[in-house]
Structure formats: C-alpha cells, structure tokens
Amino acid sequence: MSKNDRASSQPNGQAPGVPQSEPASFAEPTSPRPPLPPKPDQRTPADVSPTGCPFQIPLGGDGQQGEFQTTAQGTRVPTTDRSLKAGPRGPVLLQDHHLREKITHFDHERIPERVVHARGAGAHGVFRANGAASSLSRAQVFAEGEETEVFVRFSTVLGSRGSADTVRDTRGFATKFYTAEGVWDLVGNNIPVFFIQDGIKFPDVIHAGKPHPDREIPQAQSAHDTFWDFVTLHTEATHHTIWNMSDRGIPRSYRMMEGFGVNTFRFFNAAGESSLVKFHWKPRLGVHSLVWEEAQIAGGVDPDFHRRDLADAIEAGAFPEWDLGVQVFPDTEDQMFQGIDLLDPTKIVPEELVPVQIIGTMTLNANPTNFFEETEQVAFHPGHLPPGIDVTADPLLQGRLFSYLDTQISRLGGPNFSQLPINRPHAPVNDMFRDGMHQVGKHAGVAPYRPNSLDGGNPFIATEEQGARIDVPVPILETTITREQAVSFDDHYSQARLFYLSLSEVEQRHVTNAYTFELGKCYEQSIKERAVGVLAHIDQGLANTVADGLGLPHPEPQDTAEVTPSPALSQVGQKWPVQGRQLGILTTENSDPAAVAELVAAAFAADLVPLVIGESGGTLGESEVPISRTYTTARSVEFDAVVVADAPDLPEARVLLDEVFRHNKAAAVLSAAAAKAAELGLSTSGPGVVEIDTLAQAVEALDPLLATHRVWERELGA
C-alpha cells in the first residue's frame, strides 16, 4: 500500500478503531437488511472445505445470512426480548424452545482457555519467498516468488485470557503457513531460548510461573516466590530468565518484536542433502520495548495495549512486516557448532558467528473478522511440517511434538480441530480419519482403510516425486536407553553472561532494575539470597547492585566464562523506519485548525498515525479535523512522540507531558506554546525536545528522533 493509499484509508485524519463497516444510525434500524459486510481491514478464513478444497463460489460470512433473526434451525422468530410465559406475570414455560436454545448456546460459548499463551492477538497476511532457501529445502513455500497465506497469533505466556498485554513475560510468535503442500506451523517466541532443556520439565516451569495455587495471585507475573524458587534451583533457566528481565520482556508492540523458532530444525533439499537451521523473524520496524513504568501504566489504563496497537496499525494501512531468516549449520554427526550444542534450547549461536540469511518476507494486512473463530480457535503444532522441513532430537522439541496435539484435542473438543475454518489446509486432504466430536466433513465411500479395493484403492500412497513428505534418514549412534543428558547441556551461565555483556549501558541498567523489582516482590529471604548468588555467575557487578537494592550482602565471587559480546543482541544504537508510529498532537480550542490539518496530512504521508488530542470530543473548532482523544481519555503510553500545538492548563496535560519526558520520548513544541509547555514540565532545553516555528516542521524535526525509538541521553544523564 502506498503512502497516499494509507492516508486516504483514514479520511480527514480519523483515528483507527471504527467498530463497523458503516456508521451507526442514531435510532434503532427497523428496515430489514442483510448483515453488514466486514470492514475493509478485515478478512475471514479462506473459502476452503474441511478437506482443503477451494469453493468455486465464495462463501463470505456464512455464519450469518438473511435479513431476519432465526433459530439455529433457520426458523424465523417473532421476538428475542421476552420469554414465553403463562400469562404476563406467570412462570416461564419449558416449551419455549428459542429461550432454551439461546441460553444453552450462551452457556457453552466459552471453551477452555490455553494453559499457556491464553492471552493473544492475531492477524492474516502473506509470506513471499525470495528463493534464497530453495537450494537448502525442497519445500515449495521457499520457491522464489511463491506467495503463501498466513495467520499469525501473538501472545503472552503466563497470564489468563483476561490479563493485561504489557506484563513482563515472554511473548509467543506462532505462524500458520497455508502452503500448497499442507500446513506448516512455525511456533516460536520473542526470545530465542527457553527455560528448560527437556520437555518433561514444562509442567514444572509453568506451575512455578502461574499464580500461587492457594490465593490465585499474582496474575500474569513472574515477580513472586514460586517462580524465583524454581529458576534459582533449576539453573538451566538462567539464560531465558535474564532475557525476560531485559527490555525484551516488555515489547513496545507486536509489530516491533523479534521472533525465534527456539528449537533447531532440519532442512533437506531435492538432492537429499540436509542442513540444520534456526529460524528468525526480523521486524522491519526494528526491535523496541516499553520502559517499565510505561508498561505498568499501560496495564492499568489500557490492558489491551498490544492488541489495539496491532489492529489499529493494520486498519490504518501501516501493515507490519517481518523478514524470515535462517542460521544454517552443517548437519554433522555431533550436531554441534563451535562448541555450541545445537540441540540445547537454552543456547543461541551469535549472529556474528553465523549470520541470518533472509529467505522471505511476511506482511500482515488484514484483521480477523471474528476473534473467537480465528484467534481463539487457531491450533498450532510444531509437527505440522511440509516436505523439506523436519525436526531434530532436541529433547524440548520432542516433548512439544506430543504436547501440542494433546492440548488441541482437549481444548477444541476432539480430534477434528483441523476442520475449523482457520485451521483448514489450503491443500487437498484425504486422511481416512472418520467420525469423532465435531466432524463436519462430507465423507463418501465404504473403505476408510488401506489397502482396499472397494473404494478403487483410493487414497493412494504418494512417492517423493509426487510430493510425499519423506522423513530424513538420520543415523542413530549405537547407544543405550537412558535418562541422562549430554555433558554439553551442563553449562547454564556462559550464554547468560554473553547476553548481559552484549547490552548497552542503559539496557544493563534496566536488567538490574528488573531483577531488583522482581526479587523485591518475593517473601522468602533465602530465595533472594539464592538469586543474587546465581547472578554472580553472570556478572559480579550485576549481582552486587541487585544485592544492594535488596539490602543483602554481596555474594561470593564466582569464576565466570570468557565470552565475546554479540552486538546483534542489543536493541539500542541503530536507526529504524518510523512507519506506523503514533503521534500525539496536543491542541486547545484556540489551536489553528488549518495548521493542525496540514500536520495530520504530513504525518499520514510519512506513514505515521496522528492522533489529535483536544479539550472535548468532536472536531477541532469549526473545522472537520476530528478529535481522536480528549485529555481525559489520552495517556502518554499510546504515543511514540508528541507535538505541542498548544496545551491547556489541565492536570491531565501536565501528567501526559511529564510522562513523555520521563519515558524518553521525542517531542516537538510550537514556539508560541513553548512557555506553556515549560510550565507543564516539558522544557525545550531538554534532550529530544525540539522547538519549531510552524506545525508543518514537526514531522521532519521528529523523524530522526523517532528512528532511534527513545532519547536515551535523558536517562543516562540522570
């Protein structure tokens, strides 16, 4: 979508978030009409049958049709407001089928939420391959120019469906590719390592991270005794934990979040040659985070912060994009690379040793039409793989191969979850599976078995040349059955140290503050002491500073690993595109509407999303410039930068500008409003605050500041 298209998608600077495809009338409509179509930014799952057959006639929104309300069986109802009773004041009659059907369905509308990753947001999109992986994998999805529809679900891990988006947590990053060779699910996180090395420990780490079972608190947080009790005893969790304590644990947006496959997978090409790979999603907007106070404020004033940000960006035409890349390793017998065990999910291979090769780009360009049917019912599984991609013996991945299928059967009511529209393959399906809960396929024939002659031998077995997915013949060394693990898995600290030393000064400060806050929420003194002891294996300065914050003695020094920092792990120090960044424009009733309208147009032309803040709703003065927020509904957390055209003498404006400065955000202040802004706490003499003569200069003045995400000089100078 071009800049002009994006600008025109929001007429007159209207903020994203319009609830329906047509404006609502003031009075209740009385003329029968068909259901409204989806909004322009929305898309339904593809029109394919439960067996992957494209429908010749698009179904559209087939969940609801016609002008009149009916029962589930299609019978029109005369009213849905009152129950059938024995007289106006009599008891309700059991024979009221519409009442019983309506209430029964309502009673069963909720399905079990996911045990983990319950809180999520999703979007439709497309993946375009550049052909770079075609020599590594025979998968058609990687052929040059191949376009594949995708559905992506982002999520937090620990919280329930009703928890807040901006908690400190790992984020899920799961992508369903509807390839011509069957579904491929790349199910990863925004952190490249995991707390555990073996899938058998998954119940333990989640039980430790979930709310305490006696009080069911705290919700969606790791700042409590059971989590820290576990990760300080089970020290293979140390590397993932320090990533969680970094700014990666509080991303600014799903659009600005890196993704990783975590486990090592295997590629094999048409010649049968294999390679080991690790998957990376690289956001084109860069990897950016909130600051801690900002995350806490957002959790209170807008717990849907990340959901709203993703949906609004897509609606505004600022389609988020990620490049998919792979690190490629020789498929050697020991499956090691320069001393790093590729089967250990608590380890990374620094990008300076093995650069990420970009193999395609994903663009998210449509919002779901129905959250439950798509985002909630989508079912992922790391074993859903097309020809050309295979698993490895990573013990965490091996456990996931069982767990995901078992989870979907429990959560979605049976084995036929792949027949739900969002999960249907876009390739022909002939699986010989029959019956089961929620079976909606129309099966013919009498012989769902092989071999058979009664159904003409159908279905037949494909050869590799006919597109069959062949399991890679991996040799297994002569060994014995054991529960032991490789000695290479025993290093729990060197890569946590590598990560910490790779961060900038301001990022290291945030890590220190996060440990101090989280451990300060623990009750047991012994757990706090154990935690700072673990930190001494990472960095003595980190351990001592956290100990000082907790009022504890410094831990005994430990021998630490010699490591080479990886600059690729830092989020600070580069410049990134500003597309989709949100710009708050502070106005009063005395602001010049024409100048504000010009600024709004310039912001849209620069791929920004401008939001005009006014003293009251409606439009600015007598103009057509819409007020997107009022000072009572606006909060600094939703803006990446602000422009002060004018500022009212309101406590809400003072709070907003104070937070903008404290959270290291850029600001442009009109010269005529500079004195007022200073009174409210935003001085043009501060770093990252620029004074402008006209509003038309604002976008150009803010662009270089937005490109670095934050004005970190403020924090470092404090």
If one compares 401 and 1, the residue with the highest pLDDT of the two is: 401
* Tokens of residue 259, six digits: 């993704």
Residue 550 neighbours by CB distance under 10 Å: 17
pLDDT, position 275: 97
Topology of the domain comprising 493-569: Hemocyanin, N-terminal domain (1.20.1370)
**Cα 153 from Cα 186, distance rounded (Å):** 11
Topology of the domain comprising 120-198+250-408: Catalase HpII,  Chain A, domain 1 (2.40.180)
Mean pLDDT computed over 60-89: 76
Running DSSP on this structure, what letter comes out for residue 626? B
DSSP assignment string, 568-597? GG--SS-----TT-EEEEE--TTS-HHHHH
User: Does residue 334 register a pLDDT over 60?
Assistant: yes
pLDDT, position 57: 56
Residue 557 neighbours by CB distance under 10 Å: 11
**Cα 380 from Cα 382, distance rounded (Å):** 7
Please say whether the beta carbons of 610 and 583 come within 8 A: yes
How many Å from the N-terminal Cα to the C-terminal Cα in the chain? 42
* Binding site per annotation, positions: 114, 153, 202, 400, 404, 411
Please say whether the beta carbons of 137 and 268 come within 8 A: yes
- Nearest Cα neighbor of 504 from 569, 562, 577 is 569
In the chain, how long is the greatest CA-to-CA distance? 89
Strands (E), 1-66: 42-43
pTM over 0.85: yes
- Per-residue pLDDT tens for 531-579? 999 999 999 999 999 999 999 999 999 999 999 999 999 999 999 999 9
Residue with tokens 């009212």: 648
Please say whether the beta carbons of 486 and 341 come within 8 A: yes
- Answer yes or no: 124 catalytic: no
In SS3 terms, 183-252 reads as EEEEEEECCCCCCCCCHHHHHHHHHHHCCECCCCECCCCCCCHHHHHHHHHCHHHHHHHHHHHCHHHCEC
pLDDT, position 4: 45
* Domain residue limits, the chain: 120-198+250-408, 493-569, 582-717
**Cα 378 from Cα 376, distance rounded (Å):** 6
Residue with tokens 């020991």: 334
Helix, strand or coil, per DSSP, at residue 520: helix
pLDDT band at 98; cut points 50, 70, 90:
confident
- Nearest Cα neighbor of 235 from 191, 197, 189 is 197
Q: 215 — phi, psi (to 5°)? A: -110, -10
User: Does residue 324 register a pLDDT over 90?
Assistant: yes
Helix (H) / strand (E) containing 314: helix 305-315
Among 3-7, 145-149, 584-588, the range scoring the smallest mean pLDDT is 3-7
* Tokens of residue 589, six digits: 């009733």
Helix, strand or coil, per DSSP, at residue 53: coil
**Cα 47 from Cα 284, distance rounded (Å):** 30
If one compares 65 and 558, the residue with the highest pLDDT of the two is: 558
pLDDT winner (highest mean) among 104-108, 204-208, 495-499: 495-499
pLDDT band at 46; cut points 50, 70, 90:
confident
Please say whether the beta carbons of 704 and 577 come within 8 A: no
* Tokens of residue 562, six digits: 């010699």
**Cα 330 from Cα 116, distance rounded (Å):** 34
pLDDT, position 62: 57
* Binding site per annotation, positions for heme: 114, 153, 202, 400, 404, 411
Indicate the residue type of 103: I
pLDDT, position 708: 95
pLDDT band at 218; cut points 50, 70, 90:
very high
Please say whether the beta carbons of 202 and 403 come within 8 A: yes
- Nearest Cα neighbor of 163 from 114, 207, 229 is 114
User: Does residue 81 register a pLDDT over 90?
Assistant: no
Q: What is the mean pLDDT of the chain?
A: 91
Q: What is the CATH number of domain 582-717?
A: 3.40.50.880
Determine what percent of the chain is predicted with pLDDT higher than 90: 69
Q: What is the per-residue burial (b if ≥16 Cβ within 10 Å, else e) of 342-357?
A: bbbbbbbbbeeebebb
Cβ contacts of 334 within 8 Å, gap of 6 or more: none
User: Does residue 31 register a pLDDT over 70?
Assistant: yes
Instruction: Give, to the nearest 10 degrees, the angle between helix 651-662 and helix 292-301.
Output: 140
Helix, strand or coil, per DSSP, at residue 492: coil
If one compares 125 and 17, the residue with the highest pLDDT of the two is: 125
User: Does residue 330 register a pLDDT over 50?
Assistant: yes
**Cα 248 from Cα 583, distance rounded (Å):** 23
- Per-residue pLDDT tens for 623-681? 899 999 999 999 999 999 999 999 999 999 999 999 999 999 999 999 999 999 999 98
Residue 102 neighbours by CB distance under 10 Å: 16
- Nearest Cα neighbor of 51 from 427, 436, 457 is 427
pLDDT, position 13: 59
If one compares 434 and 92, the residue with the highest pLDDT of the two is: 434
- Per-residue pLDDT tens for 2-12? 444 444 445 45
- Per-residue pLDDT tens for 228-271? 999 999 999 999 999 999 999 999 999 999 999 999 999 999 99
Please say whether the beta carbons of 275 and 266 come within 8 A: yes
Helices of type H across 586-687 = 593-605, 651-662, 674-679
pLDDT, position 26: 72
User: Does residue 63 register a pLDDT over 60?
Assistant: yes
- Nearest Cα neighbor of 307 from 368, 263, 348 is 368
pLDDT, position 467: 87
Indicate the residue type of 509: R
Q: Cα 153 to the chain's mean position, in Å?
A: 6
pLDDT, position 535: 98
- Answer yes or no: 244 catalytic: no
The residue from 189, 190, 244, 367 that is catalytic is 189
- Per-residue pLDDT tens for 462-503? 888 888 888 888 888 888 888 888 999 999 999 999 999 999
User: Does residue 180 register a pLDDT over 70?
Assistant: yes
**Cα 394 from Cα 266, distance rounded (Å):** 11
pLDDT, position 56: 60
User: Does residue 101 register a pLDDT over 80?
Assistant: no
Please say whether the beta carbons of 624 and 599 come within 8 A: no
Ramachandran quadrant class, 388 (left: phi over 0; alpha: psi -120 to 50; beta: rest): left
pLDDT, position 552: 98
